[in-house]
Structure 1
Amino acid sequence: MNYTFHQLKIFLKVTQLKSITKAAEELHLTQPAVSIQLRNFQEQFEIPLTEVIGRQLYVTDFGTEIAKAAEKILDEVYAINYKTLAYKGQLAGRLKLSVVSTGKYIIPYFLSGFLKEHPGVELVLDVTNRSKVIESLENNEVDFSLVSVLPDQLQVERTELMPNKLYLIGYKEHELNNDAYDYNIFKELPLIYREPGSGTRQTMEKFIYKNLLPVRKKMELTSNEAVKQAVIAGLGFSIMPLIGIKNELINGELQIIKVEGFPIMSTWNLIWLKNKEFSPLADAYLNYLDQHKKQIISDKFSWYDEWGK
């Protein structure tokens, strides 16, 4: 056998994402390059590692075992690199975070300065829906998770980052009154929902039930981007986090519909398992946030309080 570190890395990413295209995107490679390396890796085994049925890629049982071994090998190689940097006095290691999908609009700003200060740190960032974020935290697969709705079933500790504001939004051609509407407006507007398991969906439904809003559910979509495009196209209205619609508001593709009692408020929290033993890297990142988060909010999110007034 003569497989390379590069092939192991590609194979592991393909098995994690179940997609050559997605693996290529995450690894910043072309799809043909990933396909060639995957084929070269497969040729060293007599038993299939993956199979394609229709257009879906599946990992065989044997492939799953090889992927586990590949992950252990890669972790050991990374550990050697980190120990070398640590011996030279540099902070090094892998910082692992899971982030709810809307959190992708804020978390980079709370990471960029830290990563620039410590070039030996490798970031592993998983952006997914809330249920998977909580699952990865519960399994202790990550150092921290970013959520706007705290989990009920886990004992966690947290540090607050910034407010999360949700507004009722509509497409640009929808005519509005200057005054704020009361809750009766929900009798007229078909609402577009996020999928179950979404933090936005949970916050939205909690508000609806608490205030007995007479909503009309129009459809259910699996991402904030899909919801935005549906609203822009005039397919319905939605309640969405302000943080994810800045560009669409500036471009006039979306508009905030003023309603009494809005915005719905929650808080972006970075959370971790209670009594978790931090690595020096994770501890350093928390200290960085404590020292810099107010300045980051002032520098990067000064626009946040201007919308929806």
Structure 2
Amino acid sequence: MLHVTFRQLSVFEAVARHLSFSRAAQELHLTQPAVSMQIKQLEENVGTALFEQLGKKIYLTEAGHELYHYSRTIAQQLSEAEAVLAELKGLKRGKLKISVASTANYFAPQLLATFSQRFPNITVSLNVTNRQTLLVQLANNEMDMAIMGQPPDGLDLVAESFMENPLVVIAPMNHPLARQKNIPLARLASETFLMREEGSGTRIAMERYFEAHRVKIQPGMEMSSTEAIKQGVQAGLGLGVVSLHTIELELSARRLRVLDVQGLPIRRHWHIVHRKDKRLSAAALAFKNFLLDEATTVLSRAG
């Protein structure tokens, strides 16, 4: 029988996730020697090494990999138990972990601000990341739910749309197409486009749309954020495809123009996504219902 404590498992899980004693100590608000002692005691209790050090880096042993799997499952079950107990007390308190795709961060804080005013005793943790990391977080059950554009195929997820997400073509104010109306989509084949990174939801939607309409676009620079795309377009490096929600300031300040292109904008939606097997807490359910019922109204008032 294993004689291990929840404390040892939580410390081990943090070290295994970061593959770093110092980063785990920082996360757990412990000293590094305290973390090392917990791991040493755990290894003595299980009777085998869980980490090995090669140079300055540490790696999980085969036994470490096995225990990491179980420690994550135990941690998630304890978190769900905590959420259920909080649910029994109603929404007087609770925790909510939300991850959002980087493009959604242009409106997510406003939604969370309104939600927090409605439920002031719910502690909200917001993580902004790219699509690839967000998919990993969903697969690993690292958050309650996520806000993203097109949900992925092949994962066992629940995804519900709560707001439109139109994608538009943007150009600098002095671009030759800026004042033209009803521009044929094929005309854009002669323009250079600034591209988001591989795996970006915006890029995937853009490439699928142009491919479906048999228009071959000329990719220019690849950029890792919508902000970089907007700055590059303003500088005259090419055209860009972005969510209309991300350019309100630039449009009002007349720094960018949305091109009037036939068939555009590309019609997409924002989705609230969680694992199908996730037991949502009362706080998570309240936030999900808030998005589905009120997101569009809240943002239209803010605008």
Deviation at 1:178, TM superposition (A): 4.0
1:185 and 2:187 are equivalent in the alignment: yes
Distance between the aligned counterparts of 1:89 and 1:184, measured in 2?
56
Map residues 50-129 of structure 1 onto 2, 5 A cutoff: 90-129=91-130
| Alignment-derived partner of residue 287 in structure 1 | 289
1:131 and 2:116 are equivalent in the alignment: no
Contact persistence 1:160–1:268 (CA under 8 A): yes
Letter in structure 2 aligned against 1:182: P
Q: 2:252 aligns with which of 235, 238, 250?
A: 250
Q: C-alpha offsets along residues 184-204 of structure 1, whole Å, 9 cap, x if unaligned?
A: 322321111100111001111
Letter in structure 1 aligned against 2:272: L
How many residue pairs were aligned? 275
Letter in structure 1 aligned against 2:211: Y
1:167 and 2:157 are equivalent in the alignment: no
| Alignment-derived partner of residue 176 in structure 1 | 177
Letter in structure 1 aligned against 2:101: V
Letter in structure 2 aligned against 1:221: M
Deviation at 1:291, TM superposition (A): 4.1
Which secondary structure state, in structure 2, belongs to the residue aligned with residue 217 of structure 1? strand
Letter in structure 2 aligned against 1:146: I
Q: C-alpha offsets along residues 124-176 of structure 1, whole Å, 9 cap, x if unaligned?
A: 22211112112211221111111111211113223322111111111122133
Change in Cα spacing, 1:293 to 1:252, as seen in structure 2 (3 Å) is closer
Map residues 257-276 of structure 1 onto 2, 5 A cutoff: 257-276=259-278
Unaligned runs of 5+ in 1: 1-11, 24-33, 46-56, 303-309
Change in Cα spacing, 1:214 to 1:87, as seen in structure 2 (3 Å) is closer
Which secondary structure state, in structure 1, belongs to the residue aligned with residue 258 of structure 2? strand
Change in Cα spacing, 1:177 to 1:134, as seen in structure 2 (3 Å) is closer
Contact persistence 2:90–2:282 (CA under 8 A): no
Letter in structure 2 aligned against 1:224: T
Distance between the aligned counterparts of 1:38 and 1:110, measured in 2?
37
Contact persistence 1:162–1:297 (CA under 8 A): no
Distance between the aligned counterparts of 1:260 and 1:177, measured in 2?
14
CA RMSD of aligned residues (A): 4.2
| Alignment-derived partner of residue 148 in structure 1 | 149
Over the matched positions of the two proteins, sequence identity in percent amounts to 29
Which secondary structure state, in structure 2, belongs to the residue aligned with residue 111 of structure 1? helix
Contact persistence 1:91–1:281 (CA under 8 A): no
**Structure with higher RCO (Cα < 8 A, 6+ apart):** 2
Higher Cα Rg, which structure: 2
Which secondary structure state, in structure 1, belongs to the residue aligned with residue 133 of structure 2? helix
Letter in structure 2 aligned against 1:169: I
What's the TM-score, normalizing by structure 2? Answer: 0.71
Q: 2:200 aligns with which of 198, 201, 204?
A: 198
